[in-house]
Structure 1
Amino acid sequence: MAVGAAASAAVHEGYVQLLDPNRTWLKNKRLILLHAWLVLFLATSANNGYDGSLMNSFQSLDLWKSYFGFPHGGKLGLLNAIQNIGSLAAYPFAPYLSDGLGRRRTVWIGATIMLIAVALQSASQNLSMFIAARFFIGFGLTFAANSAPMLVTELAYPKYRAQLTALYNSLWYLGNICASWSSYGTEFISNNWAWRIPSILQGVPSLFQFFFALFAPESPRWLVYKGREQQALHTLAYYHADGDETDPLVLFEYNEIKAAVALDREVAANIGWSALWSTPGNRKRMIIIIAIAFFSQWSGNGLVSYYLNQVFDTLGITDATIQLMITGILAIWNLFWAVGASFAVERVGRRLLFISSCIGMLLFFTLQTICSAQYAIHGSNGAAHAVIAFIFLFYAAYDLAFTPLIVAYTVEILPYSLRAKGFNVFNFVISLALIFNQYINPIALGNIGWKYYIVYCCWLAFELVFCYFFIVETKGLSLEETAALFDGEDAQRAVMATHEVRHDELDEKSSGDLKA
């Protein structure tokens, strides 16, 4: 362990020294262009957040409920779950498109399906048509959501990679804000455009991706894996070093990617699904990935994300305008904390953020449970207001890690050859957890009320114990260096070999300059 740690430290030290302190995204035109492309793919998460919040907002709109026959119980559960059922249907295909056709093409395919589905949803004439549209929204979103974060993390400038990848899932709340406040504004329209307009707006991110995604740069790691090494080198040089293919940072990244891809092929020439658990390192990865995927939806947040209106009803807050306003304010609050945590990941570290998040969630959800019980038993208005306050505090704690890090941490601990498949498993588990929540939560809330919260209090205690013992710190490491923390000495030797190659090339370059 000591040798491995020393190797990683040595490589990381050289890696950091190669970063030009004067090359910042505000001062460099190529980095500004690169970040503009990355924003296009970061919008996938905002689109996901918009969809996740749209159903919550619709459930507070009387016109939507009356138009579709006041869905409740199992029918309401199906309406909320059908999007994730559509996602499940796409999961078997998404990683093969991401690895076969490339990241950007897969995002474009997802955006195209999304646009068709949004048009169907916005024009829905009955509940069956609306449910079908929701299914295809989930189906298309899966393709975009599988490829977009991988492209962001594989294309980003090293100095900003961790922050941008963490920002991906944090922008879920940007979509949340747009859905909440557009629904709040259209609530005053006295016809069906009150829900059709927010539905149409859901297609805006997909519209931009449809027109521009195919013009964006492709992942250098995907290009190397497909044997297009010169194109990968050109992409790295163009965006990371103003076109200089002999830049030390570019050579380091290029050789590191080549070494990692070569090692992946040597270890598993025929990569299949079984590779996800075939080695101790991969088994540890999958345990962590599956766990944080479940935790992201089973931490009590599902009660607020999809059934906030029912929570309000149990507290006596039944006015639709007030419900929509609180939902919109909560979305802004969440975005503030999630974005703040995204920019802190390299300073604070992943492990501390995960543990702090679990402690905060356990504390505030327990207090929320106590106040909910006080309101249910004694009818105290003060207790009802306290519940709202603790919901906000709970989400501040949740947003420290389980918004910014679940996607970022998943893609960075997976080696390239398994990244698409492993990330697909992550999304699949989230969908399973969501479907369970969306069916069970309304039934449990209706039958046992606040007592259902006690289940989540116990589960949050388990999450804290798990994160303490299993989360591995990856602060300051490149994607290839992170693999060494899980895969042991072989991965360490590959990383060190890359480091040596970089020094040899720099020495040759220096000798050539002297002879000239």
Structure 2
Amino acid sequence: MALRFRPPKQSQRVMPVKPTKGHFFFAHKEFERVPWWKRKNMRILYVYIVILILTNTANGFDGSMMNGLQTLSYWQEYFDHPHGSLLGLFNASMSLGSLIGLFIVPYMIDAFGRRLGCFVGCLIMLLAVGLQSGATGFGMFIAARLLIGFGDCIVLGSAPLLIAEIAHPQDRAVLVTLSGASYHSGAFIASWVTLGTLKIESDWSWRLPSLLQAICTIVIVSGIWLMPESPRWLMSKGRHDEAMQVLVKYHGEGDPNDEFVHLEYAEIKAAINLDQEINQTGWVDFLRTKGNRKRIGLITALGLFSQWSGNGLISYYLKYVMDRVGITKASTQLGINAGIKSEALVMNFLLAFFIDRLGRRPIYMVSTVGTFLVFNAWTIVSARYDIAPNNALGYIFVVLTVLYGFFYDIKSGLMATYTTEILPYGLRAKGFTWLNFCVTAALFFNQYINAIALDAIAWKYYIAYCVFLAMEVWVIYCFLIETRYTPMEEIAKYFDGNDAVDLGEMAVADMKEQARDLGGKAAVVHVEVRE
């Protein structure tokens, strides 16, 4: 099926239009939403996607677990009460491992596929979890954390792309947002696990949570080869029949004549062919056009904002911060941590189902303005407690911590969705890797520098985050572009303007041309669907 590329149309930037209730847009046409729960193959596909979502659950488990371990007396005694730069190294070693692994991620998953990336990353993580659980000293624990980070970055660079590229377009935004939000499911589980293991009077109080970290990874390894490969990756390798088989089976419920499937196939193929024709697949291509500069600028900002909003203090140094305001009992600290993670889990999973209805800009604006206001109040309470300690300020501090988490969690599942949808296929793996690099670099800074800064200037360090949050509000308000209700291959029009090729129009035109070539009959590509 040859595509004939036409010059881009000169058109004004178009803002997203809301489809009729119960419908979604694709290639300038409204389609009725299909009830996935009534379709066997779509149900199976979404089970696979749930397994992929567990990749971020494992990541969230690790982050919350490290926060909880610092409260356990046996962990503190085993590693001789680390603090300052040594505690920073404990927390930051995973991020350092991720930074090392990011150099290979885009090349691996573009060359060998998304599934292989998930599989290799999970195997590395399983090895690392074994080393961490059996650590006999500082060096072994740090080595395990580095290895966990290395494997985790490969998994997290592969799974969200596979979810975005195999999901049905009507549900893509919700499913990718759930993937981002699932970090909090892991954090929720780990927070309650560490609270439970507080009662174990041995080193197993910290070794057991480390070992349980492997459960999600084992499930992913067991299921990854049952899943379909990304049809976009298959097309990029010239394996068009296999790509069509995936689309027919899972999006068309095995019907080779399904109109939507053929339109989806035509649009994806147009996008892949266009990427290959203009050859925009290298790192330098992010800087060559105005649209790509917008994309990489927003991705960089969102990656840094995800970690430099003050949340690093709560995620990895909550014990230290609570000690500063007089909340020192281990069970209370772990209970507060568990409560915060529970709230985050509920907030993220509920909002994921309204991602298209609410829109990307409103969600980011509410979250960023809310965290800015609450964190400033949090800083003021910490300063007042430093001057005149009292229990009332400690309780207010806890309330503000929960309220901060409420606002921060509004946006935390959205970053993966927004990044994957604004990038063209040829740059998607590299752009998503750059996002993970920005997140990991900011996280490494938080995990290492925060401990040193807190030791040196205590609550005054919070002021730096107050200033950065003010800048976040300005950037989100001025530069974030709304993309809801728009298929992945058509979002380019919001970034490239007059230079954008209308892929939806191109796909429709190509199908009409095929129909004329077939004597007016519908243009249908017949394939054998493999069960």
TM-score when scaled to structure 1? Answer: 0.95
Go from structure 1 to structure 2 and tell me whether the alpha carbon gap of 1:332 and 1:101 turns closer, same or farther (over 3 Å shift): same
Among candidates 407, 410, 417, match of residue 400 of structure 1: 410
Contact 1:98 1:147 in 2 (8 A): yes
Go from structure 1 to structure 2 and tell me whether the alpha carbon gap of 1:313 and 1:16 turns closer, same or farther (over 3 Å shift): farther
| Shift in Å, 1:331 | 0.3
Matched, 1:3 2:11: yes
Corresponding position of 2:502: 493
Equivalent runs, 1:79-94 vs 2, <5 Å: 79-94=90-105
| Shift in Å, 1:512 | 3.6
Unaligned segments of structure 1, at least 5 residues: none
User: What is the one-letter code of the residue matched to 1:417?
Assistant: G
Higher relative contact order (CA 8 A, sep 6+): 2
| Shift in Å, 1:365 | 0.9
Go from structure 1 to structure 2 and tell me whether the alpha carbon gap of 1:362 and 1:8 turns closer, same or farther (over 3 Å shift): closer
Matched, 1:447 2:459: no
| Shift in Å, 1:349 | 0.5
Contact 2:16 2:482 in 1 (8 A): no
Matched, 1:390 2:397: no
Corresponding position of 1:140: 151
| Shift in Å, 1:2 | 8.9
Residue-by-residue CA offset, 1:451-475 (whole Å, 9 max, x unaligned): 2222211111110000011100000
Matched, 1:302 2:312: yes
Residue-by-residue CA offset, 1:144-170 (whole Å, 9 max, x unaligned): 100000000111111110011111111
Go from structure 1 to structure 2 and tell me whether the alpha carbon gap of 1:247 and 1:445 turns closer, same or farther (over 3 Å shift): same
| Shift in Å, 1:500 | 2.3
Work out the percentage of aligned pairs sharing the same amino acid.
41
Go from structure 1 to structure 2 and tell me whether the alpha carbon gap of 1:6 and 1:66 turns closer, same or farther (over 3 Å shift): closer
Matched, 1:258 2:304: no
Cα RMSD, aligned residues only: 2.1
| Shift in Å, 1:53 | 1.1
* Secondary structure in 2 matching 1:288: helix
Corresponding position of 2:481: 472
Corresponding position of 2:419: 410
Alpha-carbon distance between aligned partners in 2 of 1:444 and 1:490, rounded to the nearest angstrom: 47
Corresponding position of 2:363: 353
Corresponding position of 1:337: 347
- The more displaced of 490-499 and 315-324 is 490-499
Matched, 1:121 2:132: yes
User: What is the one-letter code of the residue matched to 2:31?
Assistant: L
Corresponding position of 1:314: 324
* Secondary structure in 2 matching 1:50: helix
Alpha-carbon distance between aligned partners in 2 of 1:367 and 1:381, rounded to the nearest angstrom: 17
Among candidates 279, 283, 298, match of residue 273 of structure 1: 283
Corresponding position of 1:53: 64
| Shift in Å, 1:246 | 2.1
Alpha-carbon distance between aligned partners in 2 of 1:397 and 1:93, rounded to the nearest angstrom: 34
Equivalent runs, 1:65-104 vs 2, <5 Å: 65-104=76-115
Residue-by-residue CA offset, 1:51-109 (whole Å, 9 max, x unaligned): 11111111000001111221111111001000011001111101111101100111000
Among candidates 179, 196, 211, match of residue 222 of structure 2: 211
| Shift in Å, 1:405 | 1.1
Contact 2:115 2:225 in 1 (8 A): yes
Contact 2:483 2:491 in 1 (8 A): yes
Corresponding position of 1:150: 161
Go from structure 1 to structure 2 and tell me whether the alpha carbon gap of 1:287 and 1:105 turns closer, same or farther (over 3 Å shift): same
Alpha-carbon distance between aligned partners in 2 of 1:507 and 1:341, rounded to the nearest angstrom: 45
Matched, 1:41 2:49: no
Alpha-carbon distance between aligned partners in 1 of 2:219 and 2:518, rounded to the nearest angstrom: 43
Among candidates 424, 432, 449, match of residue 441 of structure 2: 432
Equivalent runs, 1:451-466 vs 2, <5 Å: 451-466=460-475
Alpha-carbon distance between aligned partners in 1 of 2:67 and 2:25, rounded to the nearest angstrom: 48
Alpha-carbon distance between aligned partners in 1 of 2:518 and 2:60, rounded to the nearest angstrom: 49
Alpha-carbon distance between aligned partners in 1 of 2:210 and 2:518, rounded to the nearest angstrom: 57
Matched, 1:232 2:240: no
Contact 1:112 1:140 in 2 (8 A): yes
| Shift in Å, 1:372 | 1.4
Contact 1:286 1:422 in 2 (8 A): yes
* Secondary structure in 1 matching 2:486: coil
* Secondary structure in 2 matching 1:246: coil
Matched, 1:222 2:229: no
Equivalent runs, 1:193-208 vs 2, <5 Å: 193-208=204-219
Residue-by-residue CA offset, 1:189-241 (whole Å, 9 max, x unaligned): 10111111100111111111222212210001001101011111110111111
User: What is the one-letter code of the residue matched to 1:486?
Assistant: F
| Shift in Å, 1:509 | 8.7
Contact 1:8 1:492 in 2 (8 A): no
Equivalent runs, 1:164-179 vs 2, <5 Å: 164-179=175-190
Contact 2:367 2:409 in 1 (8 A): yes
Go from structure 1 to structure 2 and tell me whether the alpha carbon gap of 1:167 and 1:442 turns closer, same or farther (over 3 Å shift): same
Corresponding position of 1:365: 375
Task: Count the aligned residue pairs.
Answer: 511
Unaligned segments of structure 2, at least 5 residues: 1-8, 523-531
* Secondary structure in 2 matching 1:19: strand
User: What is the one-letter code of the residue matched to 1:337?
Assistant: M
| Shift in Å, 1:187 | 0.9
Residue-by-residue CA offset, 1:327-347 (whole Å, 9 max, x unaligned): 111101011111222111100
| Shift in Å, 1:281 | 0.9
* Secondary structure in 1 matching 2:36: coil
